[in-house]
């Protein structure tokens, strides 16, 4: 599917937020998916994922959650620097950023009303879970890729599980050193206890970042399976 891409400047209480948008060229109202970045920023990988989603027939939009920072993209080789920037993020402000992206989508005639989903990777996976709770009137489906720290924070995203209204699916790697299996078990228990509509999959051979083909941790078979699940999940709930 032919797509068109653009870089937008969305308004937030802390100034303009650069946002990457990709959408089908053919016009007409399409469902939309917000794409939340890894700790390394709104880089070429996240833009590529945004374009891949658009080619499946969605309006896809990736906000730069580091728009308050002077350095907004960090190489994969500099994990500690990325973690330092990530740790300066504040959940309420990020939820405002996600809200700005959702508001933009809701105001566009090329977005199908009431059909907005969200996905994210690593740090963005945690914020996807939180967004499903915080923006529960707007988010109709959510997919978390190796969302680290979902049980962490005060309150944590996990503490807000009862607020989630949409179906949600979560992907993890069994060999992920950043997400202990006890965290996965806590998330599954919280969603089960709250009787939420959820699925999850733990890939036995995958580590952290297994979906990113620009990282050493890329695991092709797990990434391919997760992508097929991703496509069928959003097709079911947004299309």
pLDDT of the residue at 27 = 79
First to last CA, the chain: 16
CA–CA dist 65, 236 (Å, integer): 28
Contact 58, 21 (CB under 8 A): no
In 122-218, where does DSSP find H-type helix?
123-134, 181-193
Contact 121, 45 (CB under 8 A): no
pTM value > 0.95? yes
Tokens of 3: 């797509």
pLDDT per residue as tens digits for the range 150-208 = 999 999 999 999 999 999 999 999 999 999 999 999 999 999 999 999 999 999 999 99
Range of the domain at 94: 3-238
CA–CA dist 47, 35 (Å, integer): 9
pLDDT of the residue at 124 = 98
Residues of the chain with pLDDT under 70: none
What domain count does the chain have?
1
Tell me the torsion sign for CA atoms 187, 191, 193, 199.
negative
CA–CA dist 219, 231 (Å, integer): 18
Query: What CATH number has the domain bearing residue 187?
Result: 3.40.50.1820
Active site residues: 122, 176, 208
């Amino acid at each position: 599917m032919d797509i068109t891409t653009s870089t937008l400047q969305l308004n937030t209480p802390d100034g303009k937020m650069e946002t990457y948008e990709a959408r089908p060229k053919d016009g007409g109202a399409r469902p939309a998916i917000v794409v939340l970045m890894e700790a390394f920023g709104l880089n070429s990988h996240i833009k590529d994922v945004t374009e891949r989603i658009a080619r499946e027939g969605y309006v896809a939009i990736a906000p730069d959650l580091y728009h308050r920072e002077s350095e907004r993209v960090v190489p994969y080789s500099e994990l500690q620097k990325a973690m330092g920037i990530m740790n300066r993020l504040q959940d309420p402000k990020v939820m405002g950023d996600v809200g700005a992206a959702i508001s933009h989508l809701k105001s566009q005639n090329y977005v199908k009303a009431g059909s907005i989903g969200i996905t994210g990777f690593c740090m963005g996976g945690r914020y996807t879970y939180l967004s499903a709770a915080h923006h529960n009137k707007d988010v109709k489906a959510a997919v978390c890729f190796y969302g680290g720290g979902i049980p962490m924070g005060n309150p944590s995203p996990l503490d807000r599980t009862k607020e989630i209204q949409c179906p949600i699916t979560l992907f993890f790697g069994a060999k992920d050193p950043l997400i202990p299996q006890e965290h996965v078990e806590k998330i599954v228990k919280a969603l089960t206890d709250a009787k939420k509509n959820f699925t999850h999959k733990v890939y036995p051979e995958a580590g952290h970042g297994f979906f990113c083909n620009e990282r050493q941790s890329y695991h092709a078979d797990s990434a391919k399976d997760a992508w097929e699940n991703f496509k069928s999940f959003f097709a079911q709930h947004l299309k």
